[in-house]
Amino acid sequence: MYIGTKGDYGIRALIDLAMYGGAGPIQRAEIARRQHIPEAYLDHLLAQLRRAGFIQSTRGPGGGHQLNRPAAEICLLHALETLEGSLAPMPCLEDHDDGESDSVCAQQWVWREIYDDMRARLQAVTLADLAAREQERLRALATSYSI
């Protein structure tokens, strides 16, 4: 369940859309520049987000990407699972909840607790929260430079 560049870049792209996407679509080049993501790589991440219904994209001049739903209604858990696949910390916790309780080894319960807790925390965080935090971070950065 290691979060690699897929998850990190992808979420940063969504935050970017939440912050700057109020008026019309944002182009991938703009996101890539602001968030320091290789443009060609960002393509794939946006494609996954589009297929999962998080964003919609329009082609042609003036085109770009925008969120499909309000940022407050997108949770971090769902977005990350879209980008990275299952976040389970070990194979035996992968979501095949078919009631199969076989092959449980002694440490599984600890990890199930950790996993449940993790999912709950991630589900409680929305894109709007993250965008607000990023806004604040940028503001703090700007004032610290301007002193």
Partner DNA sequence: GTATTCTTGACTAAGTTAGTCGAGAATTGC
Partner DNA sequence: GCAATTCTCGACTAACTTAGTCAAGAATAC
Site for DNA in 34-63 (CB under 7 A): 38-41, 43-44, 46-47, 50-51, 57-63
Shortest gap between Cβ of 24 and ligand FES (angstroms)?
A: 27
13, 21, 64, 74: residue in contact with DNA (rule CB under 7 A): 64
| 105 contacts ligand FES (rule: CB under 6 A) | yes
DSSP assignment of the chain equals ----HHHHHHHHHHHHHHHHTTSS-B-HHHHHHHHT--HHHHHHHHHHHHHTTSEEEE-STT-EEEESS-GGG-BHHHHHHHHHS---SSGGGSS--SS--TT--TTHHHHHHHHHHHHHHHHT-BHHHHHHHHHHHHHHHHHHHH-
Annotate each residue in 63-102 with x if it binds ligand FES (CB under 6 A) or - if it does not, as one string: ---------------------------x-x----------
134 belongs to the binding site for ligand FES (CB under 6 A): no
Binding site for ligand FES (CB under 6 A): 8, 90, 92, 105, 107-108, 111
